[in-house]
Chain A
Amino acid sequence: AQSVTQLDSQVPVFEEAPVELRCNYSSSVSVYLFWYVQYPNQGLQLLLKYLSGSTLVKGINGFEAEFNKSQTSFHLRKPSAHISDTAEYFCAVSRVNTGFQKLVFGTGTRLLVSP
């Protein structure tokens, strides 16, 4: 089975400060990795995903994440936060080579960007 750990339940930052949201996963098989964002009263929106290839993945809204297999991590980063980035962020994994994309999510990290 797979599991995802997001150690930080809440990350407060000031506008224009750098952001890092941490994600660690556990799996006995190879996985794909994802970050989703959830704005209040909205559905989940895909930020970025790692399937294969370059371990540095760039996504929407200036976010990027780096896959580190040895540390089983997939931390999300943004050089400069914007007020509009305030939202809940979920890291997720799914097994490689299964019939469909069954996502296992972490518990989420609330990013609070203040002026």
Chain B
Amino acid sequence: GAGVSQSPRYKVAKRGQDVALRCDPISGHVSLFWYQQALGQGPEFLTYFQNEAQLDKSGLPSDRFFAERPEGSVSTLKIQRTQQEDSAVYLCASSLESLVGRAGNTIYFGEGSWLTVV
């Protein structure tokens, strides 16, 4: 597609419910990122994929958070037993390459999935 697509755009979950957030990166992009943006804060890194390999998951806040990208394209972020502190916007981003510092290697962000846990 033309850009990074995320669904659902808005999700209200009851505390304790499991949720799954989907990300369709730009076609052919090797790198895929998930960020969490709490209200009034900047985005914070959650995890990184290079193709299907999850190379960094250091930002996942707890073992309730799980991400996958099984075929190296679409990715899903799953949150189990949601808590109120999980309420945030979850941003997916992709880039063509994984190499750092390449002038043309721009990271493109999706519009985000807004999760509210009640």
Contact = CB atoms under 8 A, between A and B. Distances in A.
A54 interface: no
Judged by DSSP, the binding face of A is loop
Interface in B61-118: 91, 93, 95, 98, 100-101, 103, 105-112
A42 to B, nearest CB: 6
A81 B49 CA distance: 38
Contacts of B109: 36, 43-45
Contacts of A95: 100
Nearest to A41: B111
Interface residues of B, number: 30
Contact of B110 (A43, A97, A103, A105): A43
30 contacts: A36-B109, A43-B3, A43-B4, A43-B91, A43-B93, A43-B109, A44-B91, A44-B93, A45-B109, A46-B106, A52-B101, A92-B42, A96-B101, A100-B98, A100-B100, A101-B31, A101-B95, A101-B100, A101-B105, A101-B107, A102-B45, A103-B33, A103-B35, A103-B43, A103-B45, A103-B107, A106-B42, A107-B40, A107-B42, A108-B40
List the 4 closest A-B pairs by CB distance, nearest first: A105-B42, A43-B109, A44-B109, A43-B111
